[in-house]
A and B are shown apart, each in its own frame.
Chain A
Amino acid sequence: MILRVLPFLLLLLFAHPVAAQEKWTAVSIADEMKENANAVIRLDRTDITINSRKSMTVKKYRVVTIFGEQGLHYMDASEVFSNTTTIKSIEAVIYDAYGKEIKKIKRKDFRESAISQGSIITDDKLLALSYTPVQYPFTIVYESEVQSSTTAFLPRWSPVEGLYSSVERSEFNITHNGELGFKYKEYNFGTTPFEKNETGTTLSLTALNIPALKSEDYSPSQHKMRPQFMFGLEKFNLEGVDGEAKDWKTFGSWMYDNLLTGTDELPAATIAAIQAKVAGETDVVKKARIVYDHVQSKTRYISIQLGIGGWKPMLAKDVDRLGYGDCKALTNYTRALLKAVGIESYYTVVYAGSDKNNVKEDFVSMQGNHAILAIPHNNDYIWLECTSQIAPFGFQGPFTDDRMVLLITPEGGKVVKTHVYKPRENTQESKGSYSISETGALAGSLTVRSKGTQYDNKYDREHSSREELDKMYKDDFSNINNLKLKKTNLLNNKDSQEFTEEINLEAEGYCNKNGNRIMFAVNAFNQLSHVPQRYRARKNPFEVSRGFYDTDEVVIDLPQGFTIEAKPDNVTLTDKFGEYKAEYEMIGTTKMLYKRTLQMNDGYYDSGEYENYRLFREKIARNDNAKVVLVKN
C-alpha cells in the first residue's frame, strides 16, 4: 500500500570524483569506532548542486570499511534512475585492509534491474553493485553522479545510517542559486555534534566520529531517533510540473490544482447509480458508509507507480471502469463518489505504518507515502482507508493512527492529527470456563471480544480458512500443548468495530503430572509470557507505542477426588507502565473463579527505566503462569 519508495531513498546522492589519494587502511580505524561495528563509514560526502528548479546534480563520494558479511549492505553502492533521473557516472574501487587496491569496478559491471517488487509496474530502475568480498576487512570507495530534473525531493542528511555501523566523517554540501527559496530543518540531533557553515547560496554540514549503535528491543522508531536534516525548495519541479512550497496552504493548493483537479470526474451513469443507492438517506455518516461499502465491494488494491512521480492519482472514471487502483486512485475515487452524493472529503497524505511517522508540520515539502481520505464531521474527521476491502467504515487502525497528516483541500493544505487510541479503547474481554480432568486434560470454552487496535489484530480472521484458524489458535494458545480446536465461531461486527470469537477447545495433558500430584497454570487462555530482553547496558530510550486493556473471567472446574495443595495468592501490581490484577476465588470446593485485569499504558521512557519495565513484565509473566497444585486423596 506504500505510495512509493520514500523520497529520500529514491533519490540517493552522489559526490565529487576527488582523486582518491587518501590511503584507506582498515588498521587505522580507532578502537571506539570499531566497537559494535560491522562497517565503518570512513567518509560519506554528498555534494548537491541545484542550478535551477529543474536541474539538480547529486554527487556522492563514499568510503566504507566492512568487517564482515553483516556489514555488507553498508556498501550501499547503488542508484535509482527513471525518466527524469539519470546516472552520469558510477564506479567503485575495493582496497584491502592495508589500502592496497584489489579491484576496480566500472559502470558496466554494475547490474541493472527493475524494482517493481510488490507493484504491478513502476518507472524506476536500479543500478547496483554486486561484489563478492575475497577478504575482510576491506574498504570500498564509491563514487557516483546523478542528474535529476525533479527537485521536489532533496536527499536528507542522516549521518547515522543504521545499526552496527560507525561514522568517521559525514559531510553534506548544498549549493543552490539563491532564488528558489532553499530551506532546511534539523531533527533529533540531540547530543550528536555537528558543524554547520552557511552562506547565501551554500550550506555545509559535517559530523565526526559517531560510534555504532546496537539494536535494542522496544526502541522508538527511527524517525524519532535518527538525527537528520531535511532540505527543500519553495520553488521546485516534480516530473515536469512546477510547484510551490511556501506554507501548507499554498503547497496544498498546488497539490490540489495539479494532482487532483480534473481527476474526479465520473460517468453520469455512475453518479446516478450512487445517488440512487443513498436516496432517502439524510444522515451524512450513513450516506458515507453506503459509499464506502460500495467502493469496498467494487474495487481492489493494485500497486501501479506511474504518473507524476507516482503522486498523481489515476482518473476516477478509470477506477470506475477497471475496478482497481492504488492508494491514491482508490482514495480519489471514493472522494469523487462522496462528492457525487454531496459529501465533502479531503484527500490526505500520510506516512503509513505502525511506527507513527509524522508529516513534519514545520517543514513544508513533499512528504508521505500513502493516501487516505478524511471526511470532516462534527469538528473532527472520519478516516477512510480506501485500499482495504474489509476494514470497517471509519476504522483508523494502527496503520495510520496517532500522527500528523496533510489534508489537501480546495482551499489549501492543512496538517492535522489522526485518531489516537487510548489504552482503554484497545480492549480484549474474555469470559469462559474450563474443567480439569483426573488425567490432567483440559476442556473449555471462551468468548473473546476485541476492540480498537486489538480488533485490528483480529478482524481478518473472519476470512481465514479452517486450517489457518487452527494454526492461529494454536499460536494464540501456545502455552497449551495438544490443543484441539473443537469449534470456533467468529463474528465481526463492523458497525460497532467489535470482533467476537467463541472458542471450544480441549487438550490432553494440559497439566504436569508428578506422581499423585497434578499442577497447572490457572491462566490458561491469556498469558502474557514474553519478557523483554535484558540489556547489559541499555542505550536507547524505549517506547510502548500503544496501550491496551485486557479483562479475563474464567471459571475452573477441578476434578473430584483431589485436594488443593496450593493455589496462587491474589496479586496486584501497579506501576507507571500499567496495572495487573489477578484474583483466585474458590466458589465451592471444586470450583474456582479466576479474574484478571491488565492495563498496559503507552509511553516514551528513558533508557534508565527499561530495567523496571522489564521487571514489571517479568512479574506479569510469572503471575500469568502461577499454578494450582492438586493432590489425589
Chain B
Amino acid sequence: MRLLQLLLIIILAGTLHVTAQEFKLGKVSVEELQEKVHPADTSAPAAYLYKRGKTFFELNDGYFNMVTEVECRIKIYKKEGYSYASEEIACYTGGKTIKMYFTDAYTYNLEGGKIEKTKLKADGEFQEQVNENVRVKKITMPNVKEGSVIEFKYVIITPYFTAFEDWYFQYPIPANYVTYEVALPNYFTYNRFMTGYTPIEQTAPKARLGSRGIFQETAVTFTAKNVKALADESFVHNIDNYISILKHELASVQLPNSTPEKYSTDWPSVAKAIYEDNDFGRELGLTNYFKEDLQALVPSGTPPAQKLEIIFGYVKNRMNWNDKNGYYCIDGVKKAYENKVGNVGEINLMLPAMLRHAGLDANPVLVSTRDNGVAIYPARTAYNYVIAGVKLDNNIILLDATSKYTLPNILPLRALNWVGRMIKSNGATEEIDLMPKKNSREMITVSAEVAADGKVTGKTRDQYFDHYGYVFRETYGTLAVDSYLEKLEEYYGGVLVSDYSITNERDLTKPVMEEYNFSHDNVSEVIGNKIYLNPMLFFSMDENPFKQEKREYPIEFDFPHQDKYLLNITIPQGYEIESMPKSVSMAMEENIGTFRYNIGSKDRVVQVSVAFDINYANISQDYYHTIKDFFQKMIEKQNEKIVLKKSI
C-alpha cells in the first residue's frame, strides 16, 4: 500500500563509480572566500563546502583500534552561521584508553584581496568530562567574520569498535560535497544501512593492505553532492528517520586462529544473542522473587483473561519507572521488584515472567521508541525498549507496565513506533505491529442555549477513550482541578467554565469523562437584527496546522483518531433560522480520513453532529496536498454560520 510507504531504505549494493573531487586541507581558494551567498540556497547562514570522513582500523600490540578522521571546510556566509565556527566531539571513554583531538584548524579571511589565515591555538580548545563515561572536546575558531572559511580536522581513536558512529550526510546547512570512506579489515563484518532521501553514490569495494600492511581490508567510499539543508517540519516524530544517515552494525568477528564470533546478522541471531544475554534471558527466567506474591494474587482456576488483568495491574501499581529505557536489566528484576523501581527492561520483563508463571503465553516484544527512530535492521542496538505481548484467544495483546495509565493494547506514545519484534522462548521471533488497530475516540456532547444578546450557555460532556484517555491521564492526571480549568479555558479561548466534574480518572476501564457548564460571549455575533452563530460553538478548528506549501517528509499523527461532536443548540425566543450550513460528508483518498458534518433543526433546536476521522498515524508526504486541502475545507465548513433573524 502506497499510503504506508515505509521509510526509504537503501541496502547499499550499487557499484557507481565516483570521481573523487579534489579536496585538500589548506587549499582554500579566493573564490571560496569571495562567495557572498550559497548559490543554491541564498538564505543559508553557512555551508559545508567539503566534509570528508574516513574510518579504518589499526592494529596495536595485538589489539584493534578504530580510527575515524574527519576533515571539514566550512563557509560562513552570515552571522547566524557563527555557531558553525565551534565544533564539539564527544566520546565514550569507559575504562579503556581513547584518543581524540583536533588538528589543522585554521580560519581563512580575505584581507585586501589576499588570503590571511589564523591558526587555532590552545586557548581555543577545551575539554570537559561530562560524566564518568563521556568526554567532550570543543574548539572555537579564531577571527571568524562573515565570509570566513574555516577548516579543521579531528581524529578519534577508540577500541570500542562495536559502537560504530553513524555518519550523517545531511545537516541544518547545505553541504556541497560529503564523502565518507569506510575501510574494514576482512576479519570484521559489519552490516550497513542507509536511511533518508538524499541520493548517495558509492564506489566498488576495493581490496587493499590495511594500516602498516599487516592485514587485508576492504574500502568503500560513499558520496553525496549538493545536499539541501534539513527542512524543519511539524508532524514529524523523529527527523532522524528521514535524514540520510549511514549506519554500521557489527555482525561478526573472525580473527585468525580463533573461532568466529557472531554479533548479529539476521533476526534469529539477534534474538538469540539478546535472549542469551544474562541481563535479558536470565532475568526473564527468574521467578522466585514473585512466586509467593503471585500465588496470593491469582488463585488457581482464575480464567486467563482475568489473570492477565490482575497481573498487569499488579505490576503497574507496584513498579515505578525510573525514566530509563533499554531492554536489558540494570539492577536486575529481583532488586527492582524489591525496590519497586526499575528501568523498562526490569519492569517489562518481570511482566511476561509473571504471566508465564501463571500459565499464559507471554513473551517480550522488543521496541524502538519514537526518539530512538525506526528499527530498520537486525541489530541489538536497533531496539532500546521492551514491552510484553500475550497471546490470548489467538489475539496478541500488548502490555507496557511502565506507566500507571496504560491498558492492554494502549501503549505509551513513546512505544508506538511501527513494528516490534517478539522473542519467544524457543528462540523464534515474530514481527508485531505496534500501531493501534482502531481509532482512539474523543466524544463531546453539548446542549446549549443562545440568548438574544448572543451569549451562549450550556453543558458539555467530554469523553476520552483509548489513547485519548491515556494522554489525558498522563498529562493532567496529577494536576490540581483549578490549574486544569485554567488550561481548559485557555485551550477553548474565551469560554468560562463552572461546575466542573471529572469521573473515571483512576478507573482505566472506563473513558475519562468531564462534565461542565459553560458560557461564552464570542461564538455568535449579533449584527443588526440577526445573530450569526457558529454551530460548533467553541469546538471548531480555526487554523490549519498545515501551512507549508511543500512537504519533504511523511506526516505523522500521534495515533489514528476520531473526534466526535454532538450539539443541541436552542435558539432564542423570538428568532427564527434564516439559513443554515449544508450537511456534508468528505473523504480523503485511500481512506486516510473522513469528515462528516450533519446539521438539522426541529422547532427552536438545531442539531449538529460532526465526526472527524484520521485513520493512519503515518502518511506519506505524497498525500500532503490531499491532507492540507482536506483540513482547509473542513475548517471552512466548521466555521460556516447559522444565521438567525428576529421573527416579525
How far, in whole Å, are A29 and B420 apart by their CA atoms in the complex?
47
Indicate with 1 or 0, residue by residue over B488-499, a CB within 8 angstroms of chain A CB atoms. Answer: 011001101000
Q: Do B478 and A68 have beta carbons less than 8 Å apart?
A: yes
Q: Do A324 and B142 have beta carbons less than 8 Å apart?
A: yes
How far, in whole Å, are A557 and B572 apart by their CA atoms in the complex?
35
Q: Do A298 and B321 have beta carbons less than 8 Å apart?
A: no
User: Of the candidates B129, B138, B480, which one forms a contact with A120 in the assembled complex, judged by CB atoms under 8 Å apart?
Assistant: B138
Q: Do B496 and A324 have beta carbons less than 8 Å apart?
A: no
Q: Do A322 and B131 have beta carbons less than 8 Å apart?
A: no
How far, in whole Å, are A134 and B337 apart by their CA atoms in the complex?
11
Q: Do A112 and B131 have beta carbons less than 8 Å apart?
A: yes
Quote the shortest CB–CB distance from A521 to chain B (angstroms): 10
Within 8 A of A (CB), among B589-648: 632, 635-636, 639-643
Indicate with 1 or 0, residue by residue over A304-333, a CB within 8 angstroms of chain B CB atoms. Answer: 000000000000001001111000000000
Q: Do B140 and A120 have beta carbons less than 8 Å apart?
A: yes
Interface membership of A422, Cβ < 8 A: no
Give the chain B neighbours of A470 by CB distance below 8 A: 547-548
Q: Do A132 and B128 have beta carbons less than 8 Å apart?
A: no
Q: Do A533 and B528 have beta carbons less than 8 Å apart?
A: no
Q: Do B493 and A531 have beta carbons less than 8 Å apart?
A: yes
DSSP class of A's interface residues: helix, strand, loop or mixed? mixed
Give the chain A neighbours of B340 by CB distance below 8 A: 134-135
Give the chain B neighbours of A32 by CB distance below 8 A: none
Give the chain A neighbours of B493 by CB distance below 8 A: 531
Q: Do B79 and A300 have beta carbons less than 8 Å apart?
A: yes
Interface membership of A519, Cβ < 8 A: yes
> How many residues of chain B have a CB within 8 Å of chain A?
69
Q: Which of A77-85, A229-237, A458-466, A576-584 contacts B (4 or more CB under 8 A)?
A: A458-466
Quote the shortest CB–CB distance from A305 to chain B (angstroms): 11
User: Of the candidates B80, B544, B641, which one forms a contact with A519 in the assembled complex, judged by CB atoms under 8 Å apart?
Assistant: B641
Q: Contacts A134-B320, A323-B144, A519-B641 given: A300-B636 contact, CB under 8 Å?
A: no
Q: Contacts A302-B140, A512-B639, A514-B643 given: A463-B78 contact, CB under 8 Å?
A: yes
Q: Do A70 and B479 have beta carbons less than 8 Å apart?
A: yes
Q: Contacts A36-B482, A132-B341, A514-B532 given: A471-B547 contact, CB under 8 Å?
A: yes
Q: In this complex, which of A214, A467, A484 has the most chain B Cβ atoms within 10 angstroms of its Cβ?
A: A467
Q: Do A514 and B123 have beta carbons less than 8 Å apart?
A: no
Q: Do A323 and B480 have beta carbons less than 8 Å apart?
A: no
Q: Contacts A114-B130, A134-B320, A533-B489 given: A297-B86 contact, CB under 8 Å?
A: no
Q: Contacts A298-B145, A514-B581 given: A132-B479 contact, CB under 8 Å?
A: no
Within 8 A of B (CB), among A20-36: 36
Interface membership of A513, Cβ < 8 A: yes
Interface membership of B556, Cβ < 8 A: no
Interface membership of A69, Cβ < 8 A: yes
Quote the shortest CB–CB distance from A389 to chain B (angstroms): 4
Q: Contacts A514-B581, A519-B641, A536-B482 given: A297-B146 contact, CB under 8 Å?
A: yes
Interface membership of B472, Cβ < 8 A: no
How far, in whole Å, are A321 and B138 apart by their CA atoms in the complex?
19
Q: Contacts A463-B78, A471-B547 given: A323-B142 contact, CB under 8 Å?
A: yes
How far, in whole Å, are A306 and B265 apart by their CA atoms in the complex?
49
Indicate with 1 or 0, residue by residue over B563-593, a CB within 8 angstroms of chain A CB atoms. Answer: 0000000000000000101000000000000
How far, in whole Å, are A566 and B493 apart by their CA atoms in the complex?
26
Quote the shortest CB–CB distance from A475 to chain B (angstroms): 9
Q: Do A565 and B528 have beta carbons less than 8 Å apart?
A: yes
User: Of the candidates B478, B489, B490, B530, which one forms a contact with A566 in the assembled complex, judged by CB atoms under 8 Å apart?
Assistant: B530
Give the chain B neighbours of A629 by CB distance below 8 A: 527, 530, 532
User: Of the candidates A114, A214, A474, A536, which one forms a contact with B128 in the assembled complex, judged by CB atoms under 8 Å apart?
Assistant: A114
Q: Contacts A121-B128, A132-B321, A514-B641 given: A509-B547 contact, CB under 8 Å?
A: no
How far, in whole Å, are A322 and B543 apart by their CA atoms in the complex?
48
How far, in whole Å, are A135 and B341 apart by their CA atoms in the complex?
10
Q: Do B547 and A534 have beta carbons less than 8 Å apart?
A: no
Q: Contacts A481-B635, A622-B522 given: A463-B80 contact, CB under 8 Å?
A: yes
Q: In this complex, which of A116, A322, A533 has the most chain B Cβ atoms within 10 angstroms of its Cβ?
A: A322
Within 8 A of B (CB), among A611-626: 618, 621-622, 625
Q: Do B145 and A509 have beta carbons less than 8 Å apart?
A: no
Q: Do B482 and A464 have beta carbons less than 8 Å apart?
A: no
Q: Contacts A515-B579, A519-B641, A627-B525 given: A466-B140 contact, CB under 8 Å?
A: no
Give the chain B neighbours of A322 by CB distance below 8 A: 123-124, 142-143
Q: Contacts A69-B478, A132-B341, A533-B489 given: A466-B43 contact, CB under 8 Å?
A: yes
Give the chain A neighbours of B483 by CB distance below 8 A: 214-215
Give the chain B neighbours of A121 by CB distance below 8 A: 126, 128, 138
Within 8 A of B (CB), among A509-545: 509, 512-515, 517, 519, 531, 533-536
Q: Contacts A323-B143, A482-B632 given: A132-B320 contact, CB under 8 Å?
A: yes
How far, in whole Å, are A466 and B231 apart by their CA atoms in the complex?
12
Interface membership of A111, Cβ < 8 A: yes
Indicate with 1 or 0, residue by residue over B141-166, a CB within 8 angstroms of chain A CB atoms. Answer: 01111100000000000000000000
Give the chain A neighbours of B232 by CB distance below 8 A: 467
How many chain A residues sit at the interface, stated as a range, is 35 or more
Q: In this complex, which of B85, B145, B527 has the most chain A Cβ atoms within 10 angstroms of its Cβ?
A: B527
Q: In this complex, which of A318, A627, A629 has the most chain B Cβ atoms within 10 angstroms of its Cβ?
A: A629
Select from chain A the residue with minimum beta-carbon distance to B486.
A533
Quote the shortest CB–CB distance from A458 to chain B (angstroms): 16
Within 8 A of B (CB), among A39-93: 68-70
Q: In this complex, which of B480, B528, B532, B549 has the most chain A Cβ atoms within 10 angstroms of its Cβ?
A: B480
Interface membership of B82, Cβ < 8 A: yes
Interface membership of B371, Cβ < 8 A: no
Interface membership of A220, Cβ < 8 A: no
Q: Do A566 and B522 have beta carbons less than 8 Å apart?
A: no
Q: In this complex, which of B128, B132, B635 has the most chain A Cβ atoms within 10 angstroms of its Cβ?
A: B128
Give the chain A neighbours of B482 by CB distance below 8 A: 36, 214, 536
How far, in whole Å, are A519 and B527 apart by their CA atoms in the complex?
11
Q: Do A134 and B140 have beta carbons less than 8 Å apart?
A: no
How far, in whole Å, are A111 and B134 apart by their CA atoms in the complex?
13
Select from chain B the residue with minimum beta-carbon distance to A475.
B547
Indicate with 1 or 0, residue by residue over B512-544, a CB within 8 angstroms of chain A CB atoms. Answer: 000000000110010110101000000000111
Q: Do B640 and A566 have beta carbons less than 8 Å apart?
A: no
Interface membership of B22, Cβ < 8 A: no
How far, in whole Å, are A535 and B485 apart by their CA atoms in the complex?
10
Within 8 A of B (CB), among A127-183: 132-135
Give the chain A neighbours of B43 by CB distance below 8 A: 464-468
Interface membership of B322, Cβ < 8 A: yes
Select from chain A the residue with minimum beta-carbon distance to B478.
A68
Interface membership of A261, Cβ < 8 A: no
Give the chain B neighbours of A519 by CB distance below 8 A: 532, 641
Give the chain B neighbours of A114 by CB distance below 8 A: 128-131
Quote the shortest CB–CB distance from B121 to chain A (angstroms): 8
Select from chain A the residue with minimum beta-carbon distance to B581.
A514
Select from chain A the residue with minimum beta-carbon distance to B126.
A121
Q: Contacts A36-B480, A36-B482, A133-B320 given: A534-B341 contact, CB under 8 Å?
A: no
Q: Contacts A111-B131, A463-B78 given: A324-B140 contact, CB under 8 Å?
A: yes
Give the chain A neighbours of B321 by CB distance below 8 A: 132
Interface membership of A270, Cβ < 8 A: no
Q: Do A534 and B80 have beta carbons less than 8 Å apart?
A: no
Not counting A103-B339, A302-B140, A519-B641, a sample of 15 additional A-B residue pairs whose C-beta atoms are within 8 angstroms of each other reads A69-B478, A70-B479, A132-B323, A214-B482, A300-B85, A321-B143, A323-B145, A390-B79, A465-B44, A482-B632, A515-B579, A515-B643, A517-B579, A627-B525, A627-B527
Between A and B, 5 residue pairs with Cβ closer than 8 Å are A133-B320, A323-B143, A324-B140, A484-B549, A514-B532
Q: A-contacting residues of B (Cβ < 8 Å)?
A: 43-45, 78-80, 82, 85-86, 107, 118, 123-124, 126, 128-132, 138, 140, 142-146, 231-232, 320-323, 339-341, 478-480, 482-483, 486, 489-490, 493-494, 496, 521-522, 525, 527-528, 530, 532, 542-544, 547-549, 579, 581, 632, 635-636, 639-643
The 3 closest A-B pairs by CB, nearest first: A465-B43, A132-B322, A566-B527
